[in-house]
Amino acid sequence: QAQLVESGGGLVQAGGSLRLSCAASERTFRTYAMGWFRQAPGKEREVVAAIDWSGDSTYYADSVKGRFTISRDNAKNTMYLQMNSMKPEVTAVYYCAARRGASMVYWEHEYDYWGQGTQVTVSS
> Strands across the sheet with 78-83, in order?
4-7, 18-24, 78-83, 68-73
Q: What is the pLDDT averaged over residues 94-108?
A: 91
* Pairing mode of beta strands 10-13, 118-123: parallel
Is the pLDDT confidence value at 101 over 90? no
Q: What is the pLDDT averaged over residues 31-52?
A: 95
Question: Looking at residue 41, what is its pLDDT?
Answer: 92
> What is the distance between the alpha carbons of residues 100 and 21, in angstroms, rounded to a whole number?
19
Question: Looking at residue 64, what is its pLDDT?
Answer: 95
pLDDT digits (tens, 9 = 90+) for 57-74: 999 999 999 999 999 999
68 CB burial (10 A radius; 0-12, 13-18, 19+) = buried
